[in-house]
Amino acid sequence: MRKPLIAGNWKMNKTVPESLEMIRALRGRLDPSSPAEVVLIPSFTALFSAAEALRGSGIHLGAQNLSHLSQGAVTGEVSGTQLKSVGCRYVLVGHSERRQLFQEDDALVHQKLKTALSEGLYPILCVGETLEQREAGQTRDIIGTQLQEGLKGLTPPEIRKVVVAYEPVWAIGTGKNAQPEQAQDIHEFIRGRLVSQFGEDTAQDNRIVYGGSVTPENSPGLLAQPDIDGALVGGASLDADLFYAIIDAVP
């Protein structure tokens, strides 16, 4: 049984007071009997205060990025151990904004994922095709390679800790979400690839979440699909009412 995961990626938004205000608003509304696991992913600057504010809430904390290196003279980077020490459980790896704006390739994404695992974090590996790649019929090839390279050589205990996020790049921040059947089709493909890489027993437990313009309106249809185990929410996670409505849509 896969527990649905709803994660809010705040990207480069919200000051510390704004982050705390959002957490207060959300804590007040969250139903403790919700079937969803909720994860907030604020900016690095708000992680420490957010962890304090989330104490006892059952909401988990995640970071948006980590260094592929463990420690030392790496100006401007943040290590997995540092993230763990402020209370992070999850970390995003290979978000398309990192791949596109910071030229993170599959090899670097793989290094980050391995570092996250060795430092005790649960990585959320983001994969997805651009519009150009979809139109050229390359969606499965692109995602297949991102999975193959990103997850290569993981041991069974390691792969069990990984969440995969399918985020079609054309759907991120555009208001054009993938249709539920279209997303299910790719989630099923991703599950199939995990099965062939790691075996049926392991892959059936991996959560595969959808991201890209998720809203309260489209989340019930998406979350009802058999291989969609939750959502990675950007824009709509910045507003407590909208984010709560998405959590509430988990069947």
Q: Does the annotation count 167 as an active-site position?
A: yes
- Any long-range contacts for 242-248 (C-beta under 8 Å, 24+ apart)? 242/215, 242/216, 243/6, 243/8, 243/26, 244/26, 244/29, 244/30, 245/216, 245/219, 246/6, 246/214, 246/215, 246/216, 246/219, 247/6, 247/30, 247/34, 247/36, 247/38, 248/31, 248/34
Angle at the Cα of 33 from the Cα atoms of 21 and 178, rounded to 5 degrees: 70
Select the residue interacting with ligand PGA from 235, 243, 244, 246 (CB under 6 A): 235
Task: Kindly name the residue from 60, 95, 110, 187 that is annotated as catalytic.
Answer: 95
- For 179, the enclosing helix (H) or strand (E) is none
Question: Which stretch in 76-84, 115-123, 153-161, 234-242 sits in contact with ligand PGA by CB under 6 A?
Answer: 234-242
DSSP per residue, 84-146: HHTT--EEEES-HHHHHHS---HHHHHHHHHHHHHTT-EEEEEE---HHHHHTT-HHHHHHHH
What secondary structure letter does DSSP report for 58? Answer: -
C-beta of 165 vs 194, nearer to ligand PGA: 165
Which range in 29-37, 45-53, 136-144, 233-241 contacts ligand PGA by CB under 6 A? Answer: 233-241
95 classed as catalytic: yes
Nearest to 91 by CA among 75, 76, 109: 109
CB of 64 to ligand PGA, least distance (A): 9
Going residue by residue from 5 to 44, which x/- string records binding to ligand PGA, judged by CB under 6 A? ----x-----------------------------------
Q: Which of positions 133-172 make contact with ligand PGA (CB under 6 A)? A: 167, 172
Question: Exactly one of 58, 120, 156, 173 binds ligand PGA (CB under 6 A); which one?
Answer: 173
Minimum distance from CB of 233 to ligand PGA (Å)? 5
Residue 135 identity (one-letter amino acid) = E
Which residue number is nearest to ligand PGA in terms of Cβ?
234
Per CB under 6 A, 62 contacts ligand PGA: no
Q: Find the part of the chain contacting ligand PGA (CB under 6 A) among 59-67, 127-135, 182-190, 231-239.
A: 231-239
Is residue 213 part of the contact set for ligand PGA (CB under 6 A)? yes
Query: Is 214 a binder of ligand PGA (CB under 6 A)?
Result: yes
- As a whole number of angstroms, the distance between CA 239 and CA 121 comes to 26
Instruction: Return the active site residues.
Output: 95, 167
Contact residues for ligand PGA (CB under 6 A)?
A: 9, 167, 172-173, 211-214, 232-236
